[in-house]
Amino acid sequence: MKIQNNIIHGGPIDVPNISVGQHLLEHLHANAHRILQIDAETGKQFTYNDILKKSTTLATVLKNDGIAIEDRISTATENHPNFVVAMCSTLFIGATFTPLNPVYTEREYRHMLEIFQPRVIFVSQRTEKLLAKIVSTLNWTTKLISLDDKTSDKNIVTLKELLEKSNDTANSCTFVATPIDDSAKKTSAILCSSGTTGLPKGVMLSHRNLLLFIKNMRIVIDIQQGDRAILFLPMFHGYAFGLINLVICAGAAICTMRSFEIEKFLRLTEKYRITHLPLVPPILVTLAKHPTVTNYDYGSVRQVLCGAAPLPKNVADEVKRRMKVKHIRNGYGMTELSIITNISDGTTSDDTVGPIVPGFKCKVVDTTSGKILAPGEIGEICFAGEQLMLGYYKNPKTTAETIDKENWLHTGDLGYFNEEGLLYITGRIKELIKYKGYQVSPSEIESVILKHPSVKDAAVMGIPDELSGELPMALVVRQPGSNISSKEIVDFTNSYLSPQKRLRGGVKFVASIPKTPSGKIVRRELPILSKL
């Protein structure tokens, strides 16, 4: 890494021109008899060979059904052992993997499905009823496959049935992943990201994007053959999706939790001798306070990683003391930058997110003039390099607003770097609310609140919360003569939105919402208004 003309250069990195599927297939073969997955729910363990056989069989089925390069295949499921099978089979045939949040509402599912138009959607018992209802009204053909062994809808085939029926037609030893012509231009995955406004957008990551991420992270977080990571983070999210790919290519294993339960998390960490703990700040807050944390042995843990939201230093220090771990490594990144750009080594006494990883360039610019700033000066953080996304799927306008003509991606975050090139995050220009690592768009919640006939105007902001980071709170102007209550607004809004978008910060009634002459909400004035 070097700093030249106030631009940080992370150094060169290269990967072969192959597909992610080819890379995963190679490592599944190489580690055939090692454990890849442990299902925390049942205790059942799956080897690399188990996943290889299922994935190659399913890939053959999908290919025979006419799924071609860059056709979209989605998942809509909670963390599930068969998620990895669906992911690998998709990438093996060069199709584009487009995972969806299992707690989306009907409105959110319809929005994303209209964008992605997937040929296949892998569902679970939790999501199959809603997806079956939606799919029946779409104007293109989409097949539902359940990752569970049983389904309440006889029209939905299960993965188990599909594999048993097709097992004789596939041979994992001779299966060859579909080659692609240019790994830098072909899309491997489209991950959902809120961006700065409105409903979620699809971030297109190329095969090269993901291969660079995998190569970087194998070195940076020191994950080796035989290591074990625990995974409660939602698999559809970039953080977890990247980790799954990384684990496979390292010959390591993941212990998969369907949902987070603190006692279970601690017990599993000790029982399975977990080496890597990928966490988010709300979980670290829990670890800093929960009374039973000190009852377990964490001697196997080599890496504690934190990402998705800012990490308070006092929380990190308390967790290190209670768990007797040496370091907590604070990371920074975004889906649009192939998940991660910076990670600290955990040894510094401050809250840096560390240096940039190889393959990136970073600069900090004045938010008004665009001038490149010197070390120590706060401005907007921008990145360039081969790990920049291909763009937002079917959304060239927002892509152009995010990546400038010189191919610098503007993060919307404020920060600075020091003379050694270590990056510090101080705030953000963006309007996003960070709730438990989720990016929540205020304008989306506002549009829902404004649907109510008794609401004249509304603005949504995040209020600080130690456990969750921020909670969405609404400032609402009633229609003249209306006596609508806070509870009515919360109940109405919750019926349209996913759990992370709900108004946990409450509702406050105000006389008016501050706006510019053009009608945009003056968000910097909202915190003052909320306290009146």
What are residue 471's DSSP bridge partners? 463
Instruction: Give the number of other CB atoms < 10 A from CB of residue 337.
Output: 25
Q: Name the segment(s) of the chain with CATH classification 3.40.50.12780.
A: 264-428
d(CA 102, CA 123): 9
Q: Name the segment(s) of the chain with CATH classification 3.40.50.980.
A: 48-167
Counting Cα atoms < 13 Å in the Cβ hemisphere of 272 gives 31
pTM: 0.85
- CATH fold for the domain made of 432-531: GMP Synthetase; Chain A, domain 3 (3.30.300)
CATH for 264-428 is 3.40.50.12780
DSSP, residue by residue, 323-365: HT-S--EEEE--GGGTS-SEE--S-SSS---BPBPTTEEEEEE
Amino acid at site 335:
T
Residues 6+ apart with CB under 8 A from 165: none
The answer to whether 19 and 181 are in contact (CB under 8 A) is: no
d(CA 410, CA 297): 42
- CATH fold for the domain made of 48-167: Rossmann fold (3.40.50)
pLDDT in tens, the chain (532 residues): 789 899 999 988 999 999 999 999 999 999 999 999 999 999 999 999 999 999 999 999 999 999 999 999 999 999 999 999 999 999 999 999 999 999 888 988 999 999 999 999 999 999 999 999 999 999 999 999 999 999 988 889 999 999 998 876 667 788 999 999 999 999 999 998 865 455 778 999 999 999 999 999 988 888 999 999 999 999 999 999 999 999 999 999 999 999 889 999 999 999 999 999 999 887 888 898 888 999 999 999 999 998 876 677 777 888 999 999 988 999 999 999 999 999 998 887 778 899 999 999 999 999 889 999 999 999 999 999 999 999 999 999 999 999 999 999 999 888 999 999 999 988 777 677 888 888 788 888 888 898 898 998 899 999 988 888 899 999 999 988 999 999 999 999 999 998 989 999 999 999 999 876 556 788 878 888 888 7
According to DSSP, the β-strands at 433-435 and 438-440 are antiparallel
The answer to whether 239 and 278 are in contact (CB under 8 A) is: yes
